[in-house]
Amino acid sequence: MQIKLNSPLDMHLHLRDAEMLKVVAPLTAKYFSWAVIMPNLVPPVKTVEDVKNYKKRIKKASWQELFNPYMTIFFHEELTRENLEELKSEILSIKLYPAGITTNSEGWAKDLLSEKSLEIFWIMEELWIILNIHWETNDFVMDREKNFVPIYEKLAQDFPKLKIIMEHITTKESADLVVKYDNLYATITLHHLYITLDDVAGWMLEPHLFCKPIAKRPEDREALLKLALSWNSKIMFGSDSAPHPQSAKECSHCSAWIFTSPVALQFLVQLFDKNNSLDNLENFLTNNAKKIYNLSVGNSGMHSIPEKIITLEKKEFIIPEKFWEVVPFMNGTKIEWSVV
């Protein structure tokens, strides 16, 4: 049995930089037509020059694969209309991180509802620039996403023409919220469709399953799975694949995030097959994102998707133990599908 996927997209990806970029960029470029690249480097991607230079490094690291990286910048309060008008032709969206909530986000967006932040949102709405938000507060770790709901509701109500992407949602409350407002959309990761907190710390600590937002309860996972399988056109795949070297994961101060890029398609096909929903997988992987971001398939143009057919077959595949110094999701396990 085989399935062909037309131009799969990853709507939320971390590629890092330097040597790590050289290792992980080809592992996405091989399987995906393009990806939305996160800007939380050190120093962060903030300016037009930052965007252009980082994109060049990604393309160089992608080994001539048919792959387009689409860029984002950090949301910061120094942004002006002039900045945004200049950036619009170079980026797909702007990424907002609450200060200190994730890797390399210290010092950013201390007050999402400040007068200056609201002014920037208004300009973005006018210029039709999409806003992506890592939506967590600094509260108790299991409540951080749930406690962000009132902020999302205010933004959705106050800026009805601003497209807002709720990144890597993990809770039932998030799944309910995204269908409530016309201008809210969401990405869902592979790992949040598979694991709960019990997989991370229910027996022995599994550092390679430790991620942020942290995996939640079984009922949250079920709500996400129901949404992903539901044919809802507001939901997209975003891997949030984020590599760290093994030494940074297997230590006393373990880094968060999970590396899924080279195995995401195999796991997603297995999951949708198990739930008798293979006919909906291409919507989750490609079609919904095309509509939300106003994309077209082709090999040229600002918002074009390189046409790439990825074929998978129902044949046993063993997840590699490591890629260079990076341990992938569920390494060493057998799954039912392989990329041809």
pTM of the predicted model, to two decimals? Answer: 0.95
Q: Is the pLDDT of residue 299 over 60?
A: no
Instruction: Compute the residue count for the chain.
Output: 340
Cα dihedral 77, 82, 88, 93 in deg (nearest 10): 10
pLDDT tens-digit series, residues 64-91:
899 999 999 999 888 999 999 999 999 9
Q: Is the pLDDT of residue 48 over 80?
A: yes
Q: Is the pLDDT of residue 101 over 60?
A: no
- Annotated catalytic residue, options 10, 50, 220, 240: 240
- 2-339: which CATH topology? TIM Barrel (3.20.20)
Q: Is the pLDDT of residue 104 over 60?
A: no
Domain ranges of the chain: 2-339
pLDDT tier for residue 207 given thresholds of 50, 70 and 90: very high
pLDDT tier for residue 108 given thresholds of 50, 70 and 90: very low
State the pLDDT at residue 64: 85
Structure tokens at 106: 């210290």
Give the mean pLDDT of 208-221.
96
- Residues near 169 by Cβ (< 8 Å), separated by ≥ 6? 145, 175, 178, 186, 187, 188, 192, 224
Q: Is the pLDDT of residue 109 over 70?
A: no
pLDDT tens-digit series, residues 133-168:
987 888 898 999 999 899 899 999 999 999 999 999
Which stretches does DSSP call E strand in the chain? 2-6, 9-13, 34-37, 68-74, 93-96, 130-133, 164-166, 184-188, 235-237, 296-297, 304-305, 309-313, 317-318, 334-335, 338-339
Give the mean pLDDT of 169-174.
96
Active-site residue, 176 included:
no
Q: Is the pLDDT of residue 102 over 70?
A: no
Work out the mean pLDDT of the chain and round it to a whole number: 93
SS3 4: strand
Q: Is the pLDDT of residue 112 over 90?
A: no
Q: Is the pLDDT of residue 308 over 50?
A: yes
Q: Is the pLDDT of residue 107 over 80?
A: no
pLDDT tier for residue 302 given thresholds of 50, 70 and 90: low
- Amino acid symbol at 8: P
Q: Is the pLDDT of residue 111 over 80?
A: no
**How far is the C-alpha of 228 from the C-alpha of 165, rounded, in Å?**
15
Of the two residues 305 and 188, the one the predictor is more confident about is: 188
Give the mean pLDDT of 303-321.
92
Q: Is the pLDDT of residue 121 over 50?
A: yes
Q: Is the pLDDT of residue 105 over 50?
A: no
State the pLDDT at residue 305: 79
Least confident of 61-65, 119-123, 274-278, 285-289: 61-65
Q: Is the pLDDT of residue 321 over 50?
A: yes
Between the alpha carbon of residue 8 and those of residues 1, 55, 309, 337, the distances in Å are 19, 20, 8, 16
